[in-house]
Structure 1
Amino acid sequence: MNTDWFKEAQYGLFVHYMSELQNLTPFNPKEFDRGLHQDQVTDWNTCVNAFNVNLFAEQASQAGAAYVMFTLGQCSGYFCAPNSIYDAYTGHAAGEKCSERDLILDLHEALEAKGIKLMLYLIAHSPYGDQEASVALGSPELAANGYHYLPTPVFRDRWSEVIKEWSDRYGSKIVGWWFDGYYSDLYYNDVYCMTLSKAAKSGNSDSIVAFNPGLVIVKATIADDYTAGEQAVMELFPEDRWVDGIQWHCLTFLGDFWAYTNNKLPDEEVVQYVKNCTDKQGVVTLDVGVYRDGSISPEQMGFLKNLKEAIRG
């Protein structure tokens, strides 16, 4: 199974690295202010250049992370790696929304030196914070919830081209993808998810893919290799490794919410949750607060070192 390594990994870290968090780009900034910007608001390239991959990799190693899920970008339309196809469709200049630095390549090199694998987070819908880009990519109408532009066949095919450029560039450096926002059967279907999955696996056919349908741990699509498993609480446990034939996996946060820097629960509760899941061959990904310079929250690092001792021995 291509998820065997994932099961053996037991746990890893999730990083929300986004312009609206580490740079407070004016995309609903009050909602996203966690202090991760370190009192700096600059152009996007300056922000991406400030991320110290060696510092982050060292701390991820101290945390015992076997892998890291890292955001290429989310809804604002800013991405931390170049993409010529995205620029061509949207009309953005190179380096305007897709950073000049390929942070993903630099991050992989630093993580690989520590024996840590790299997975990528991306949205399954359009970057609706950039309305012009969403329309240019083929999503001209807002969904009923007012957020996600409708994933039309045109958008599906163009977005897949964008994904494929990244996948082909990274090849086996990327071992998995986590697609967010796959929320409604009204808008999505098997053709849609398989088209995106094919693009994501273009550079590495062994990479694993999950599509997030919301706060459940289920097989959401025929394309899923593991459960996206988004959870706001640490209460669901695996009965065994499998959910409808795919790897059981949970993604949750250590802080009060995504990308917060505190520990909302006592260390022993979280350690026990992770241990209960991994004892049944489940996998747990823990979201942590990561600052602009690439450092992990000191409070959370204290817990993660305890977790490493408990799980890794």
Structure 2
Amino acid sequence: MQVRVVGEPSVKGMLEAAVTDDGSSNAVVTGYRWLISETIDGSYVELPGILTKTIVLLASYSGGYLKVQVYSGTAGAVESEPVGPVRAVNGNPRTDWLCAAQYGISHHFIANYLNRVAASPEEQWKQHEDWNDVINSFDVNAYAEQVAGSGAGFVLLTLGQNCGRFLAPNAVYEEIAGVRPGERCATRDLPMEIAHALDTYGIKLMLYVPANPPHSAHMVDGDYAITRAFGFSEGTDSAPTQETMRLWQSVIKEWSDRYGELLAGWWFDGVFPAMAGSYDNMQLPYNWSSIANVAKSGNAHRIMCLNSGIGGIAINSPYEDFTAGETNEIGGLPGNGRWVDEANGIQYFTFTFLGENDPKWAGWGNKGLSRPTSELADWVKGVTDRKGVVCLDAKVNRFGKIDPDQLEQLREIKLRVR
């Protein structure tokens, strides 16, 4: 067995252990260990908690040399030659496209939101329909045309959230949950189709999903059977166990690998302060590094963030490429230009809603408007003039039609910003 390290040795880049076997040893890889040294021929020490085939390079590795040990049951440990030094970069070139996009739109297109926010009975999920009937009614080409007209430079689309239904197939999820294809994951790969349709307009797709399994996913209403299959808490978020993280990160990786270069980024929800400790422990195999590696699997240039809750601009991990920026308010502006943390390459990104304010749900995914267009447009321009990025949550119905009032508001923003 021979091992070498491939990839780009620069901060926020990604390296991979490439293993070749001439067939004589029949080696089966059982593990990885990454090591770092200040000099190419110096003493190498293990980077704790990084037990994956790939490694995301942090700013703290700048100037260092890395190598990997690959373990197998037959060949033992085989060590690569070192690579490096890890090159420092200005900020984070992987977010250049996001900064250039200036603003984009998101959708809380979620199974348990549909009927609550429907503008007419036609938009509702009917009792005689299954989940696939809803997803199959979405007109991808008409949707992409609207997005292009809105001036949005990217779309942030919910794959799913806590009820356990998703917009795309995922064989790993179905195996763990014990469900058949189409029962909880749509048989149509709607994000894939949307990514292709948006690509014709030069618009990028990012995906939203919780960092943890769905906490209210049932086989039969109230049984939490799918939530239990992942070993997660019923009805509420909590600190995930290592096994829960292993299972859910394998689900994320399936999507990451499938979408490849068509997927530009991940926005991970639900890394609340009470749960962050589960990711902080770098003595365990599932942590900030492991979720970053599955997020970038299939596309080393993909970007990601981790949301710790409503409250504006916060940094949760040096592995982030941009801030989650969730807020129910507008008015905040970048205080230091593009970068919230230039050393760690974290782009200023803020995320709010267009929809009418609801006492329980705020305006996320809702129809109507929550703010005057002039006030909203002034704010978006203020953020983007300072090299920040704005994401505006807009309602889209099952047919792929964006709320008409919100679409008109977006067009007005386009006139101010573009």
The TM-score range, normalised by the shorter chain, is over 0.9
Deviation at 1:34, TM superposition (A): 1.1
Evaluate the alpha carbon distance shift between residue 170 and residue 117 of structure 1 in structure 2; reply closer, same or farther with a 3 A threshold.
same
Match of 2:294 among 172, 188, 199: 199
Give percent identity, aligned residues only. 39
Which residue identity does 1:164 align to in structure 2?
K
> Where in structure 2 are the equivalents of 1:201-216 lying within 5 Å?
201-214=296-309, 215-216=311-312
TM-score by length of 2: 0.69
Match of 1:308 in 2: 414
Match of 2:181 among 69, 91, 94: 94
Match of 2:348 among 248, 252, 255: 248
Which residue identity does 1:173 align to in structure 2?
L
User: Considering only CA atoms, is the larger Rg found in Structure 1 or Structure 2?
Assistant: 2
Match of 2:118 among 30, 35, 58: 35
Match of 2:334 among 232, 238, 257: 238
SS in 2 for 1:171: helix
1:281 aligns with 2:387: yes
The answer (yes or no) to whether the contact 1:182–1:188 under 8 Å persists in 2 is no
1:8 aligns with 2:100: yes
Q: 2:150 and 2:158 mapped to 1: Cα distance?
A: 19
From the two aligned structures, give the one with the greater helix fraction.
Answer: 1
Deviation at 1:258, TM superposition (A): 0.3
Q: 2:168 and 2:124 mapped to 1: Cα distance?
A: 23
Which residue identity does 1:46 align to in structure 2?
D
Q: 1:287-309, CA deviations, whole angstroms, 9 ceiling, x for partnerless residues?
A: 00111101000111111111111
Deviation at 1:150, TM superposition (A): 3.8
Match of 1:138 among 216, 223, 231: 231
Q: 1:46 and 1:270 mapped to 2: Cα distance?
A: 36
Q: 1:137-159, CA deviations, whole angstroms, 9 ceiling, x for partnerless residues?
A: 232x45xxx51154110011111
Q: 2:211 and 2:131 mapped to 1: Cα distance?
A: 23
Which residue identity does 2:319 align to in structure 1?
A
Match of 2:367 in 1: 261
> Where in structure 2 are the equivalents of 1:87-166 lying within 5 Å?
87-130=174-217, 131-139=224-232, 141-142=233-234, 147-166=236-255
TM-score by length of 1: 0.92
Which residue identity does 1:133 align to in structure 2?
I
Q: 1:89-145, CA deviations, whole angstroms, 9 ceiling, x for partnerless residues?
A: 110111110110000111111111111100000001220111211221232x45xxx
The answer (yes or no) to whether the contact 1:126–1:149 under 8 Å persists in 2 is no
From the two aligned structures, give the one with the greater strand fraction.
Answer: 2
Over aligned residue pairs, what C-alpha RMSD do you find?
1.4
Q: 2:160 and 2:348 mapped to 1: Cα distance?
A: 25
Which residue identity does 2:353 align to in structure 1?
F
Match of 1:173 among 251, 257, 262: 262
Evaluate the alpha carbon distance shift between residue 118 and residue 12 of structure 1 in structure 2; reply closer, same or farther with a 3 A threshold.
same
Match of 1:219 among 315, 327, 331: 315
Q: 1:124 and 1:133 mapped to 2: Cα distance?
A: 16
Q: 2:384 and 2:312 mapped to 1: Cα distance?
A: 18
Q: 2:240 and 2:289 mapped to 1: Cα distance?
A: 14
The answer (yes or no) to whether the contact 1:227–1:249 under 8 Å persists in 2 is yes
The answer (yes or no) to whether the contact 2:312–2:350 under 8 Å persists in 1 is no
Q: 1:223 and 1:49 mapped to 2: Cα distance?
A: 36
Deviation at 1:185, TM superposition (A): 4.5
Q: 1:174-193, CA deviations, whole angstroms, 9 ceiling, x for partnerless residues?
A: 00000001102445323523
Ranges in structure 1 where 5+ consecutive residues have no aligned partner: 25-32
1:19 aligns with 2:111: yes
Match of 1:59 in 2: 146
Evaluate the alpha carbon distance shift between residue 8 and residue 160 of structure 1 in structure 2; reply closer, same or farther with a 3 A threshold.
same
Name the count of aligned residue pairs.
299
Match of 1:27 in 2: none
Of the structure 1 ranges 47-56 and 146-155, higher mean CA displacement relative to structure 2 is found in 146-155
Ranges in structure 2 where 5+ consecutive residues have no aligned partner: 1-92, 218-223, 281-285, 358-362
Q: 1:166 and 1:21 mapped to 2: Cα distance?
A: 23
Which residue identity does 2:352 align to in structure 1?
T
Q: 1:21 and 1:292 mapped to 2: Cα distance?
A: 11
Which residue identity does 1:220 align to in structure 2?
N
Q: 1:91 and 1:62 mapped to 2: Cα distance?
A: 42
Q: 2:349 and 2:125 mapped to 1: Cα distance?
A: 35
Say which structure, 1 or 2, has more relative contact order (CA 8 Å, 6+ apart): 1
Q: 1:290 and 1:189 mapped to 2: Cα distance?
A: 33
SS in 2 for 1:121: strand
